[in-house]
Structure 1
Amino acid sequence: MVLDLDLFRVDKGGNPDLIRETQEKRFKDPGLVDQLVKADSEWRRCRFRADNLNKLKNLCSKTIGEKMKKKEPVGDDDSVPENVLNFDDLTADTLANLKVSQIKNVRLLIDEAILKCDAERLKLEAERFENLREIGNLLHPSVPISNDEGVLVFLEQALIQFALRTLASRNYVPIYTPFFMRKEVMQEVAQLSQFDEELYKVIGKGSEKSDDNSYDEKYLIATSEQPIAALHRDEWLRPEDLPIKYAGLSTCFRQEVGSHGRDTRGIFRVHQFEKIEQFVYSSPHDNKSWEMFEEMIATAEEFYQSLGIPYHIVNIVSGSLNHAASKKLDLEAWFPGSGAFRELVSCSNCTD
């Protein structure tokens, strides 16, 4: 998820300064905002020029058609007058004074200019998107600013059932998510850093055909929120159907790159685990998403209170928020073995 480009465009009511401020509060590079604004400005200029060039090309074709209809001589002079080479000043009156052969040559030159402009536009588009992916969501004002066998099988299953039934009683729809996601879909829901530090990549044959030598890239999910976030991909959700509440059950897989030597006592930092997820598609209007945000963390608190597990709530500082979150609260439970509070629940509002 990325920010709306109009937020960077002053003429569209955007405020780049607010996004720069958010980057600084996250202790991230605010220069990315300036790079994006510059690339977007050049992209819009390039697109405007391409649109004008296409109009000129159509004007050339129209003028040729009119001259052919009047049976004017085509001519054998394909030279282009110097005053015509400035496409910004090219008009219908200027073209009317040229031979058909000359206008055809002008049209070819316009085609070349369009191709050059399109190539520049695609380059700027890629640069703009890369910057956009690295810029975090706008921070909520309340975020603090600062730069962590046997019978147990049945116990785990009982906890899973208890969690699912707790959420089902609150109108959450239980959903068992797939283990794999296609690369093109995972790219839309995961952070760039997750591909290097968290996600496992699986490569298999592209199809079941014996003569097919292509390969297909998939990724093991790190959380059920990834497939649930893609569940309504390319769909339009009606306001009257919101909120849509899912209780995701999944096996999660994480590389935990960079965690060597941390939390070595007990079964804590593992590469595979089961997880229950609250995931809600909520209306962004009338404070509905923030009301749901408070409801979700309250549900998590009630669940841990029912289990008699000591905990506290931590409002995550801006520098530790991922790019998608506007605000995140962690429920940290007390782990007697390590003598510390550890995160068991993360509740985020990703706004749009």
Structure 2
Amino acid sequence: MFKALYSWIDERIGLEDLIRRELKEYYVPKESNIWSTLGFLTLIAFFTQAVTGIFLLTYYIPHPDHAFQSVQKIMNTVHFGWLFRSVHLVGANLLVILLLLHVVITFYRLSYKRPREMNWITGVFMFFIIFMFCITGYLLPWSQLSYWSTTILTAIPTVLPGIGDYISRFIKGGEFVGAVTLNRFFAFHVAILPFFLVLLGALHVFLIWRTGYAPISKPVEGAEEKGYHRASYTDGIPFYPDLFRKNMIMVFVFFAVLFGIITFKSDLFLPAYAHIKADPTITPPFIRPPWYFLAPYELIRSIPNKFLGISLQLILLLLFLIWPFVETKPEGNIRKRPILLGFFIAGIIAWVILTILGRF
């Protein structure tokens, strides 16, 4: 039956020719390794979030009086609810880790250079949206941890003179984090952000398909020519089965790590305050944003002038977005760019140090 269906589709759209041309006869750099699978793994991680999120959506109640209890019901009463919520929770953190690694490897390989500027820009916007997912989703359990972490994050814009208080109130829907905030974050998390992420994701994949895989160790022949040029690697390896096999192996590793954390360290991303219902009248003695926001949080905290701290971060985000148009040197090997490599390593070390300091 499957063979008959395959033949029926092939006769109408040339499926066999498409598979041969775009998979079996499409060659990628021969140096492609597990780091080349990070983009695909990020896609799988997001798909996992979507599937588990839809399940959670059928039981979750976005109201301060019921949100925490509905999450507890999912964990303790609903059949396999604990599993879906655990996969969603741990998967969200692994998604951020994969995303950060993907950005680091993309930068290290200088894969943002011509003609892949649009690949980088769409990827950066997806980066921003995924972190907006993190912010909006973090509040939904309505625990002490999520409530006060969100209170800290939504207070950051207040350091901006003039418009800061307005921005903070607009995000929260009032003076304090409350029912309006929860409903706004819920709407963004389940409806608005997914639409834009899917749209940008489709465009990102299309651009990668049109420009081809970025070179790893040497420039692609003809890459500097004017006009459209798709990367071709005559001495490379076929996408299928070589790189496809690596992708599948890493997908297995991803789920092994995911379920390993759920099985042996289920509280890794759930501190004690995550199990207590939010109480706006009681401020916990020690509360911090999620680990992936600790570096910017610590940077703002360590600079006496808070306006200067947030302005510096906004400048860095803008530089992050337009980087392909700032760094335009033709050399495509970062190991031959000692100054750029030094800044790259220093940036990673600074982020790690700030993240560690932010925990204390």
Could you say whether these structures have the same fold, taking a TM-score greater than 0.5 normalized by the shorter chain as the test?
no
Bigger fraction of residues in helix:
2
When normalised by structure 2's length, the TM-score is 0.23
Point out the structure with max Rg over C-alpha: 1
When normalised by structure 1's length, the TM-score is 0.23
